[in-house]
Every structure is written in C-alpha cells, then in structure tokens.
Structure 1
Amino acid sequence: MALCRFISRRGPIKEMHSDCGTNFTGAAKLLQPVDQFTRSKEYQHQCQAYLTARNIRWHFNPPSAPHFGGLWEAGVKSVKTLLYRTLGLQRLTYEELNTLLSRIEATLNSRPLGALSSDPSDFEALTPSHFLTLMTSTANVEPNLDNIPLSHFQRWRLIKDLHTHFWKRWQNEYLQTLQQRTKWTNHSDNLTPNMLVLVREPTSPLLWKLGRILSLSPGQDGIARVATVQTTTGIIKRPIVKLCPLPVC
C-alpha cells in the first residue's frame, strides 16, 4: 500500500533502494512475476518495450548493514525522533496524523541544498522539492490564531501547533549541519562575496531566509566576522556565525 501511494503521488519508479525488510523483499517478489511476464517471448513486442522501461529495479542493502542506507536512514531518524518529542502523549486520529505527516514531508522537501546559479541577483536555492515537483514546497495561507483560544479551533489548531513546533526544532538541527565548526585556533575563509547564504533567524514553516553576500567586514586582525547581505527584503548586516553558505549545484 505504501508503494502504491508513493507511485500515485510521485509517478513511475525505475529503481528502488531499501534494506532487507520483509515488507520490501515481499513486494519485490510480488512484482517479479509481472516483470518476467512482460519480458516473455509470448508478450507483444510493442507492449514489452513500453512496460519494461517502467519496471522497478530493486537494490537491497547487504543483510545486517543498515548503515549502507545512511542517507535516508538519517532522514527517517530525525523525523521519528522529533515527531516523538513533538507529539508526546497526544493521541491523533488517522486523518490528523496523515495531515501532520504531509506537512512534515513538505517541510523536509523545502530545505535548501545549494544555489541554483551563481547569478548575484538570484536568491533561489535548489531543494528536494525541485526534483519532485519542479518547484519549491509551499504551504497554504493560514490566519494568525495566536490570540484566539485553542478551544475555538481545537483539532485544526493542534495540528498547526504541532507542525510549527516540529519546524522550529528540525530547522535548528538542519542549520547546524550547514556550518563547519572548526577549533578556534584554526581559521577558514568559507564565505566570499556574491555567495548565496542562509540566514539563521526564526521564520515561519517552509520559509527560509536567503541572501547574497555583498561584502565582508574584517577586524583589526584581518579576520572577517561580519558580513553585509542582500536579501529580497533589503540589505542586512549579520555576524558570519549566523550565515550558512550554500554551494552552487
């Protein structure tokens, strides 16, 4: 069912990478007779050429080697850990949990991976959502309910608050991975003018504050600790510890 939902949302799959879980190996065995049938001589050549290009190639990790899937395992771990801490003892219905997971999915797919171009006037970053929908993740516009009692919109407000709490915690953890922390005795110049950076400031969910460095302000020792950044809303000055560089993809 998970595979059917994934294909329905994202389209046909050519290759699948997973561990050796029984649900994955069972799905691969279930699809194998279909694959053999489409490759058989009895099958019409025209349909064979059409369908074999859409068969799924399943790549399994070696047994007892979950670290081979470190890329997706790290993402699953971060979501599950923060989700447990966010939900606590709160009990959600299937509809509410599905809505929250959909919002979390959009949150993770909105993270900046790198600059789309080296153009100084381009403030857009490449995100996982670009590979899925060819555009950035978006959220529907919602009214501000901070001053309205929770009981008026209890269940809807609960999902919104849980997503906001998840966003704040996950954003801080992700931003820490973008900054190289070296010992204070070592210095590395990893920021340059016109570089696209992510400004570490509290924002609304799915909103990342991006800008281009205009200039660096070195101190008396020649080390730059402050940068002037051009954003879509204007020019700001920030310490470089609040700026996360994004490489050009």
Structure 2
Amino acid sequence: MTIRRFISQHGCPREIYSDNGMNMYSANIELGEAVKDMDGTEILFFFLKNITWKLIPQVSPHMGGSWERLVRLAENVLSITLKERHPKEEVLITLIAEAEDIINSRPLSYISNDPLETESLTPNHF
C-alpha cells in the first residue's frame, strides 16, 4: 500500500534505494515474485516491473546517511506534533503529510539575504 500511495502522489520512481536490512531484502524478493505472478493487467504492477530496487552493501550504514538524516528529521517532526500514543489513522496520515511538507520545504540551493532575489529552490517546487 505504501508504494501505491507514493506512486499516486509523486509518480513512479525509476529506482528505489534502501538499506540492506533483512526486511528490505525480503520485500525486494517478495515484490519481484508478486510481479511475476500477476497477469499484467494491473497498472501498479506494470509500474513495479519498471522500478529497480537498489540495496546498499551490508554493514555500511554510512552509505545511506543522507536518507537516514531525513528519516531522523521526520521522526523529530512527528514526535513534536504527535501527542497521542495511539492516534487514529486519519490523524497519523495528516501528521505524516505535514512532516513531508516540512521536509520538502528545505532549500536545495543557496539562500540569499537579499529580499529582491527570487525564492530558493526546494523539493516542493517539483
């Protein structure tokens, strides 16, 4: 469901990078087998056939440092905004969407102090 939601909101990625934990390795194998078993009429599985899942080498967490930092940022945002221990699904989805917006508003380029310059480029622009 997560990949379906991601594709519906952001489009289909060409590559997915993840750590080489057992759950990611197993998910890669399971998705590959599920795609082989489908008859090709479902759009989602058409997209999944065209996605390459790349796993970083084992025992090298430094190679995933950039996304690990963003995961930590999302955890910080959620811990600040999430007051309930077991929120309802609707509340959790809303808070995750807000965390996504906060993370994607980070500038990708230099920020000038000049108020006459244009706005800095962020992932939300895409």
Whether TM exceeds 0.5 here: the answer is yes
Cα deviation for residue 22 of structure 1 reads 3.3
**Residues 1:57 and 2:46 aligned together:** no
Cα deviation for residue 18 of structure 1 reads 0.1
| CA–CA separation in structure 2 for the residues paired with 1:110 and 1:55 | 29
TM-score (normalizing by structure 1): 0.39
Secondary structure of 1:126's match?
A: coil
Paired position in structure 2 for 1:104: 99
Gaps of 5+ in 1: 38-50, 135-249
TM-score (normalizing by structure 2): 0.72
- Tell me the number of residue pairs that the alignment of Structure 1 and Structure 2 aligns: 116
Secondary structure of 1:125's match?
A: coil
| CA–CA separation in structure 2 for the residues paired with 1:69 and 1:94 | 29
Larger helix percent: 2
| CA–CA separation in structure 2 for the residues paired with 1:89 and 1:28 | 33
Cα deviation for residue 31 of structure 1 reads 3.2
Secondary structure of 1:64's match?
A: coil
Cα deviation for residue 86 of structure 1 reads 4.2
Secondary structure of 1:62's match?
A: coil
**% identical aligned pairs:** 39
**Contact 1:18–1:61 (CA<8 Å) still a contact in 2?**
yes
- Counterparts of 1:144-159 in structure 2 under 5 Å? none
Paired position in structure 2 for 1:128: 123
Cα deviation for residue 107 of structure 1 reads 1.1
**Contact 2:78–2:96 (CA<8 Å) still a contact in 1?**
no
Paired position in structure 2 for 1:24: 24
Paired position in structure 1 for 2:42: none
Amino acid of the structure 2 residue aligned with 1:23: N
Structure exhibiting the larger radius of gyration computed from Cα positions: 1
Paired position in structure 1 for 2:76: 81
| CA–CA separation in structure 1 for the residues paired with 2:78 and 2:31 | 33
Paired position in structure 1 for 2:7: 7
Larger strand percent: 1
Indicate how the Cα distance of structure 1 residues 57 and 90 shifts in structure 2: closer, same or farther if over 3 A, else same: closer
| CA–CA separation in structure 2 for the residues paired with 1:4 and 1:88 | 28
**Contact 1:115–1:124 (CA<8 Å) still a contact in 2?**
no
Amino acid of the structure 2 residue aligned with 1:70: G
CA RMSD of aligned residues (A): 3.2
